[in-house]
Structure 1
Amino acid sequence: MLHDQGYLELGGENCLVKVSIDQFYGIGINDFAVAVSKTALWIAERQALDDAEAIAGQAMPHLPLHDSGNIVCDNALRYDWNELLPGGECDYVMGNPPFIGQHLKSQDQTEDMRVVWGKDYDGYLDYATGWYRKASQYLTKPDAQFAFVSTNSITQGVPVPSLFKPIVGDGWRIRFAHRTFGWDAQSTDMAHVHVVIIGMDKADDATMPPILYTYQTPEDDPEPTHPRHINGYLFDGPDVYVAKRSQKVSPLGHGLNFANRGSQPTDGGNLILDTREDYDKAMSDPVAAKYVRPFRGSQGLINGIDRWCLWLTDAQPSDLRGSAFLRNRIEACRQMRLASKKAPTRESAATPWLFQENHQPDVDYLAIPKVFSGRREYATCDYYSPDTISGDANFTCVDPDGFNFAIIESAMFMAWQKGIGGRLKSDCRFSNTLVWNTLPLPPVDTAMHVAIVAAGKNILAVRANHPKSSLADLYDPTFMPKDLRDAHQNLDKVVDVAFGAKSWLKDDNDARLQILFDDYVKLIG
């Protein structure tokens, strides 16, 4: 916190020093942190006075040291900040709150969040967001501002509406933001993390344009731009909040089909044949061999790794009993499920030869990895026959003519994925309900549909020119073959226009997101 108390009376009213240690206030949760903060303020004040002396050419009083008394030891999310400094007198709140995600908060920390957010706490919010809400409610000066360093997860996926909708509703806007960059906290208990910096005030975008900083690489200086408005996803666009759309509701985009999770084994590895040795053992058993199928998780899909599974949906009891290989694997799966703490898993022990969840399509399908590298410019999806079993690390989409494949392989889709989808560290996390079902594809006429499908099929044809390369090889942005890049750009020239661009947007993904956010607002009414 920073409080404006006017000039520091060290050398009269014309003194250059206008900020004193007494204008700073702070809250630390342990006494050691409080002591360190007070020491740091003293050091900063001494350094500032040294600099002032050099500028003014006059001596400044450095002693005696005094305790400002403005830093207290307490839980910042439970403590009433007005007791330290009334909100109407505070100009700035800033800090680096703890980075503690949804599944890592202790029971006490979860209760802290409930105290701060009240009925608006949905369980998804990072612990750091408690400071955002507290600051937004505490500051009452018209020109007050606050800013925090936070994990980038607060600007991705499900948390965005929960965090920003109530704060923006109270009149705040994002004045400046640093998009995701890698930050080394240089401490023994904090690994290299991906963070954002967000500053908020109640000024008007037109009179004081916001500033958005983008890092092309972690080593580069950020590139500042002045967008029309910065939304909670840290893009130039309206304050729109993309909400999950249930699979019971058709996807928002016109002409798109459902994407469903792949089949979940929950088998302790007993129905999966991970190695060539396991595969050879199964194939040497004439009964088990009948039920061996190729199996693809996301890594297998992207990296071309061969795995297999025992797919026993049509197996006769006589086969299950008659094969020693199958009996042993099935019994091990049964024991694993019985030992589970989860009731559905224990219940599935009654049929231990089956995957716990079977979502396998019975026709050719498009497989979409749940997680893939954020470095990629395009999605890494592929087609499989129904005899290749897709695991739950993928999503599947029945796509008879290839329209869905073409859309998901476009730069427009990847802009949406990276813009509003969640992340696993820096990797993209595909979601059927949040990303796919909300993709705002406007109505597409027949001619445009045909052109999109043709461009998508050309990508498959070009991939076939590189039979020894995995999708990971083909879509590494450093080594992507020219013919494949050309094919994708030809697709983008069609898809960009289908979404409403006047022409191909080339590598301008911010422009794509502006169109997508505008389309989303129109389509949800």
Structure 2
Amino acid sequence: MNAVEIEQAISELAEQPFDAAEFPFAFLQAFGNKATTLKRLRSGESNKSDLGGVLQTNHIHIKIAEPGGTAQAFEALKASPATKRFKARFVLATDGQELYAEDVSADDAPLICAYADFPNHFGAFLALAGISTVKQVRESTFDIRATSRLNRLYVELLKDNPDWGSAERRPDMNHFMARLIFCFFAEDTDIFNGKQLFTATVEQMSARDGADTHEIISAIFTAMNTPTQHEGAPDDRYRKAAGLRPWADAFPYVNGGLFSGSTDVPRFSRIARSYLLNIGTLDWTRVNPDIFGSMIQAVADDEERGALGMHYTSVPNILKVLNPLFLDDLREKLDEAGDNARKLLNLRNRMARIRVFDPACGSGNFLVIAYKEMRGIEAVINQRRGDQGRKSDIPLTNFRGIELRHFPAEIARLALIIAEYQADVIYRGQKEALAAFLPLDQENWIRQGNALRIDWLSVCPSTGTGVKHRADDLFETPLDQAQIDFENEGGETYICGNPPYLGRKYQSDEQKAELRAVFNGRSRDTLSLDYVSGWFMKAADFISSATSAAAFVATNSLCQGIQVSSFWPAIFAGGSSISFAYPSFKWANLAKQNAGVTVSIIGLTQQAGGTRRLFVVADDDVVGVRETTYINAYLVAAENVLVAPRSKAFDDRTQMQFGNHPYYANALMLQPAEAHRLLTQAPKVEAFLRPLYGSKELIAGSPRACIWITADSLEEANEIPEIARKVKAVRAARVEKSSDAQALKLVDVPYRFRDQYEARHALLVVPIVSSETRPYLPVDLVGARAVVHNKAFALYDAPLWNMALIASRLHWVWIGTVCVRMRTDFSYSNTLGWNTFPVPTLTEKNKTDLTRCAEDILLAREAHFPATIADLYDPETMPADLRAAHERNDETLERIYIGRRFRNDTERLEKLFELYTKMVANDAAKPKTKTRKVRADG
């Protein structure tokens, strides 16, 4: 269940008569517990309570109290030995009138509320459904409740008005929902003259069956688009001309284009009307535009509605972008100014000219947070200067965006309007905020369109005045550019956001064409680039011609593997460099199990020199920052160098290559059980069976089997009917793929894989994909008869000191930086990881010492037979003797590099990049000779 579904279930539970016996199970069911789980709790099989309540291990301990005894029951739950023994995270006591609850694993204050009010706090319990949350969501669940109800209304209205769901009318529906949100907010914040004026009017004036609800709402919308002044003086001529009914005339003139144009409203059923009135009972003063905008945009998106309630991006994550981009600098200047009135004034004037531009703004999260943070800084300035209550100098139109979809663009504007009002209430007072709020300015500063096809300077000109044109409708996008009266001479522009990622496999042909157009020949391979790269390229072009800087959330793969050499030269060629960065971390949202993508945050600047900052993130918090002179394309504190794939290594280490590609020879590969059956049926098959390793098989210590036939043994093999049938099956499979030229070439050799590489003495196997949680890259020595297929790399008859290199922490750090990752797991590459790995010249003694280290690692593993690589390299349970063997290997190798152990991975990387730069230079100076071509890894 997602957060919105849980909210709905909890709300329905609270509305029902309190049933003491049933409440614990209904509560758990609302958080997604299955019927079988609840059955076991009811029977007592899994109920661990020692207080006659319900205790679900690792989750919650619930007790129903006698009337008036909730507080005592709550204390008993906290003191219960069972609560601690069975690791209940939550305790909850209620008598149906009051409800007490607490997350005993946190330092937060207990929740104490009326029973009927507990749905307003359901976010505190989302962990029961496996949904990880941040504090801000736990403390303010209003936005999820509002989203849930708006979604139900939206779906119901589309059911009754299917034409409003068509592509042609969907913008009208979205605009209608934006108008409703404004009305709910305005009636609870006294923007309308009267508490719940909108909801009460609809309830009183419309029929209960909903038949005329659309007419009542349409009349209200007409009133809010009808002026109450003429030439600056109060005048009712327009209202009279509109023929407003007295109950509609009570609504103020809103302007701003929000209610201009058509006042057409979808028809309401009785159910839809009840949903509308229910939404109006919520306390909209609690709306948080930081959260609400990103959630509500899913209401109008068919593809996203299934994930409704999961679209929250935490404020701490957004501030990871905004703080180092420009907010930290503003705060530093504020500290430097102290109480100096002139310096404070200069800072306030500077802030009035700063523009924040999000060219993938969605529902405006980044813009809203930036606005609120800047208003907070401005408030401190005003307080120090004695200007409390002063009208803000920061225009809302300085917070500009581009958004592809219609509804999020509308919500972004509305979220900013709400954020401005809330900031005015905080820093100026309710009376001043209300006086300044209406009518809304008729300006348009969020552009709907494709950011990769729009000239960003047309939306956010670098200097001077925008085109002087008043938009007809705040919620209609201009065709050519932001049409705003705005002075910004000498101002700064900060570009930020979280653009769509989309790896190359997920891009449409149109999106690939967009990347080609954006890079315009400046990348050698745009087909390998993630879609987000287009935003970086356009940002680099923008800041090259303006007083500007940029920072985006990006896929971490943009700084790994082949994308580095395809992408970053184009960025650096224009004079941009990396000003700050957060290497890989989880960009979490409000999804089950805290599902999120692994990202990096990268800041771009045109300023030469200065300090660069590398941040370290753990559990959504910044736990460290390193100041450095350089940050390279791999987000390492080192001079910029691009690691390019190499066909061979720098030195005499053994070449690593892909295993043998079967190429539709699936019939020759057998699971262990099938191989056993085959041997039982035909013992002669044993001569042709070999262990078969790929990445999974090596890590799990469970090889498959394969039938391995050479040209010399073909005649003998064909005499075995069981083998002959499988060879025939391979031929048929390749014939079926005759459109594949390679398959067609192999039709006449159906007895074999495409490749037939094998070892004479020993074979080292390296998985292609491996979990980053393992402290070392898996590599193992297997028997010479083993076969490696194309899901792993092989080193044939390699001296054992090669294994010592691969199994080192130095190599783990190197491939974790320069190779591509699958999320945060390693995706190994022979040409990019092994052949480029910088190793100092090794003496024979060095090689002997490293060989002994590799032997010790193998012996330590053998001592724990039959433990697998997966077992042995679990970071929580890695055997001490194996860890010690790796430590000796690391010390031996690192002393070869610098005469001592490296202090940390940062020092390791810096030395590796330094050595790599020297090796590339030395290699370029050597005379070129022809080398044997080794199969690269694609």
TM-score (norm 2): 0.52
Q: Which of 444, 451, 464 is the aligned partner of 1:76?
A: 451
Q: Quickly say closer, same or farther: Cα 1:55–1:440, change in 2 above 3 A.
A: farther
Q: Which residue of 2 aligns with 1:18?
A: 393
Q: Quickly say closer, same or farther: Cα 1:331–1:222, change in 2 above 3 A.
A: farther
* Partners of 1:145 and 1:200 within 8 A in 2: yes
* Partners of 1:264 and 1:355 within 8 A in 2: yes
C-alpha distance in structure 2 between counterparts of 1:342 and 1:68, whole Å? 58
Q: Quickly say closer, same or farther: Cα 1:116–1:486, change in 2 above 3 A.
A: same
* Partners of 1:257 and 1:397 within 8 A in 2: yes
Give, as a single letter, the amino acid of the residue that structure 2 aligns with 1:77: L
SS of the residue corresponding to residue 505 of structure 2 reads coil
1:276 maps to 2:677: no
SS of the residue corresponding to residue 175 of structure 1 reads strand
Q: Quickly say closer, same or farther: Cα 1:140–1:296, change in 2 above 3 A.
A: closer
C-alpha distance in structure 1 between counterparts of 2:796 and 2:758, whole Å? 11
Give, as a single letter, the amino acid of the residue that structure 1 aligns with 2:506: L
Q: Which residue of 2 aligns with 1:172?
A: 576
Q: Which residue of 2 aligns with 1:116?
A: 518
* Partners of 1:416 and 1:439 within 8 A in 2: yes
* Partners of 1:283 and 1:289 within 8 A in 2: no
* Partners of 1:90 and 1:141 within 8 A in 2: no
Q: Quickly say closer, same or farther: Cα 1:275–1:16, change in 2 above 3 A.
A: farther
Q: Which residue of 2 aligns with 1:243?
A: 644
Q: Which residue of 2 aligns with 1:308?
A: 705
Q: Quickly say closer, same or farther: Cα 1:68–1:497, change in 2 above 3 A.
A: farther
Q: Quickly say closer, same or farther: Cα 1:201–1:18, change in 2 above 3 A.
A: farther
SS of the residue corresponding to residue 350 of structure 1 reads coil
1:226 maps to 2:627: yes
* Partners of 1:338 and 1:345 within 8 A in 2: yes
* C-alpha deviation, 1:226, in angstroms: 1.6
Deviates more, 1:365-374 or 1:310-319: 310-319
Q: Which residue of 2 aligns with 1:448?
A: 846
1:129 maps to 2:533: yes
1:211 maps to 2:607: no
List aligned pairs for 1:12-411, cutoff 5 A: 15=390, 17-53=392-428, 61-88=436-463, 91-121=493-523, 122=525, 123-140=527-544, 143-186=547-590, 192-205=596-609, 207=610, 209-216=611-618, 218=619, 221-246=622-647, 250-252=648-650, 254-267=651-664, 269-314=666-711, 316-340=713-737, 341-411=739-809
C-alpha distance in structure 2 between counterparts of 1:283 and 1:337, whole Å? 29
* Partners of 1:17 and 1:52 within 8 A in 2: no
Give, as a single letter, the amino acid of the residue that structure 1 aligns with 2:599: V
* Partners of 1:87 and 1:139 within 8 A in 2: no
Give, as a single letter, the amino acid of the residue that structure 2 aligns with 1:362: R
Give, as a single letter, the amino acid of the residue that structure 1 aligns with 2:606: K
Deviates more, 1:2-11 or 1:228-237: 2-11
C-alpha distance in structure 2 between counterparts of 1:55 and 1:196, whole Å? 41
* C-alpha deviation, 1:137, in angstroms: 0.5
Give, as a single letter, the amino acid of the residue that structure 2 aligns with 1:518: E
- 1:240-265 CA-partner distances (Å, limit 9, x unpaired): 1100112xxx302x332210111111
RCO (CA 8 Å, sep 6+): is it higher in 1 or 2? 1
- 1:190-233 CA-partner distances (Å, limit 9, x unpaired): 9621111111112344x3x22211134x4554422223321111
Q: Quickly say closer, same or farther: Cα 1:487–1:321, change in 2 above 3 A.
A: closer
Q: Which residue of 1 aligns with 2:292?
A: none
* C-alpha deviation, 1:75, in angstroms: 1.3
Give, as a single letter, the amino acid of the residue that structure 1 aligns with 2:505: H
CA RMSD of aligned residues (A): 2.9
Q: Quickly say closer, same or farther: Cα 1:394–1:255, change in 2 above 3 A.
A: same
* C-alpha deviation, 1:511, in angstroms: 0.7
Q: Which of 918, 921, 929 is the aligned partner of 1:522?
A: 918
- 1:71-128 CA-partner distances (Å, limit 9, x unpaired): 2222111111122222456611111111100211110000000001122330111000
C-alpha distance in structure 2 between counterparts of 1:289 and 1:48, whole Å? 79
SS of the residue corresponding to residue 424 of structure 2 reads helix
C-alpha distance in structure 2 between counterparts of 1:328 and 1:46, whole Å? 78
Q: Which of 835, 849, 852 is the aligned partner of 1:437?
A: 835
* Partners of 2:511 and 2:531 within 8 A in 1: yes
C-alpha distance in structure 2 between counterparts of 1:143 and 1:509, whole Å? 36
C-alpha distance in structure 1 between counterparts of 2:714 and 2:885, whole Å? 50
Q: Which residue of 2 aligns with 1:513?
A: 909
* C-alpha deviation, 1:285, in angstroms: 1.2
* Partners of 1:53 and 1:59 within 8 A in 2: no
Give, as a single letter, the amino acid of the residue that structure 1 aligns with 2:685: A
C-alpha distance in structure 2 between counterparts of 1:387 and 1:283, whole Å? 21
C-alpha distance in structure 1 between counterparts of 2:806 and 2:391, whole Å? 59
* C-alpha deviation, 1:146, in angstroms: 0.5
Q: Which structure's CA Rg is the greater one?
A: 2
C-alpha distance in structure 2 between counterparts of 1:184 and 1:77, whole Å? 26
- 1:259-318 CA-partner distances (Å, limit 9, x unpaired): 011111123631111141343224521343321111111111111013101111246454
Give, as a single letter, the amino acid of the residue that structure 2 aligns with 1:379: L
1:474 maps to 2:474: no
SS of the residue corresponding to residue 196 of structure 1 reads strand
Q: Quickly say closer, same or farther: Cα 1:441–1:326, change in 2 above 3 A.
A: same
SS of the residue corresponding to residue 487 of structure 1 reads helix
* Partners of 2:775 and 2:875 within 8 A in 1: yes
| Percentage identity across paired residues of the two chains | 29
* C-alpha deviation, 1:60, in angstroms: 6.7
Give, as a single letter, the amino acid of the residue that structure 1 aligns with 2:894: D
User: Which has the larger share of helix?
Assistant: 2
Unaligned runs of 5+ in 1: none
* C-alpha deviation, 1:149, in angstroms: 0.8
* C-alpha deviation, 1:329, in angstroms: 1.7
* Partners of 1:416 and 1:516 within 8 A in 2: yes
Q: Quickly say closer, same or farther: Cα 1:290–1:441, change in 2 above 3 A.
A: same
Q: Quickly say closer, same or farther: Cα 1:239–1:358, change in 2 above 3 A.
A: same
* Partners of 1:279 and 1:308 within 8 A in 2: no
Give, as a single letter, the amino acid of the residue that structure 1 aligns with 2:787: I
TM-score (norm 1): 0.91
SS of the residue corresponding to residue 92 of structure 1 reads strand
C-alpha distance in structure 2 between counterparts of 1:467 and 1:432, whole Å? 29
Q: Quickly say closer, same or farther: Cα 1:258–1:318, change in 2 above 3 A.
A: closer
- 1:334-390 CA-partner distances (Å, limit 9, x unpaired): 222222353212332222221122233333121111111111111111112321111
Unaligned runs of 5+ in 2: 1-321, 327-349, 355-374, 464-490, 922-938
Q: Which of 867, 877, 881 is the aligned partner of 1:483?
A: 881
C-alpha distance in structure 2 between counterparts of 1:85 and 1:143, whole Å? 12
Deviates more, 1:264-273 or 1:374-383: 264-273
C-alpha distance in structure 2 between counterparts of 1:41 and 1:156, whole Å? 36
* Partners of 1:283 and 1:292 within 8 A in 2: no
Give, as a single letter, the amino acid of the residue that structure 2 aligns with 1:231: N
* Partners of 1:49 and 1:60 within 8 A in 2: no
Give, as a single letter, the amino acid of the residue that structure 2 aligns with 1:74: G
Q: Quickly say closer, same or farther: Cα 1:36–1:57, change in 2 above 3 A.
A: closer
Q: Quickly say closer, same or farther: Cα 1:93–1:509, change in 2 above 3 A.
A: same
C-alpha distance in structure 2 between counterparts of 1:470 and 1:280, whole Å? 25
Give, as a single letter, the amino acid of the residue that structure 2 aligns with 1:31: H
- 1:161-194 CA-partner distances (Å, limit 9, x unpaired): 2222221232222222112111234479x96211
C-alpha distance in structure 2 between counterparts of 1:275 and 1:384, whole Å? 17
